[in-house]
Amino acid sequence: MDYEINPEDVKAMQERGESFFLLDVREPWEYQISQIAGSTLIPMGDIPSRAHQELDPEEHIVVLCHHGVRSLNVTSWLRQQGFEKAQSLRGGIDAWAKRVDPKVQLY
């Protein structure tokens, strides 16, 4: 499984009703500005202390941030911790808003 996934592929997974966990690792103020419906906020700094309590290592986890840098770092860390199905949303919520859902606010 690739470390990154395109926004269009995530949208297709949603439309097919596939089960996955959408993990937003941005800061709370960013999440208040714009978010993808169904996402769960765990800021990047909280991941080490919360991942093993709140995430399922067997579940497909799609990690997102603003532009895809933080989410790729979190994805790499999660993979090292045994979350083998973690993937980073390539381009972050910015790419999602521009390419998938223009109702999501850019910032």
Condensed to tens digits (0 to 9), the pLDDT of residues 24-83 reads 999 999 999 999 999 999 999 999 999 999 999 999 999 999 999 999 999 999 999 999
The residue type found at 40 is: T
Task: CATH number of the domain at 36, please.
Answer: 3.40.250.10
At residue 33, the pLDDT reads 97
| Banded model confidence at residue 92, pLDDT cuts 50, 70, 90 | very high
Q: Which amino acid is at 83?
A: F
18 part of a folded domain: yes
Hey, is 63 helix, strand or coil?
strand
How far from chain centre, in Å, is Cα 27? 13
How far is Cα 104 from Cα 82, in angstroms, rounded to an integer?
32
The residue range of the domain holding 25 is 4-99
106 domain residue, yes or no: no
Which pLDDT band, with edges at 50, 70 and 90, does 9 fall under? very high
Residue 1 exposed, middle or buried by CB count within 10 Å (0-12, 13-18, 19+): exposed
Note whether residue 44 is domain-resident: yes
Q: Are 64 and 24 in contact, with CB atoms under 8 Å apart?
A: yes
Selecting among 65, 72, 93, 97, the annotated active-site residue is 65
Residue 104 maps to a domain: no
Count of structural domains, the chain: 1
Which secondary-structure segment (H or E) carries 102? none
pLDDT tens column, 69-82: 999 999 999 999 99
33 is catalytic: no
Within a domain: residue 40?
A: yes
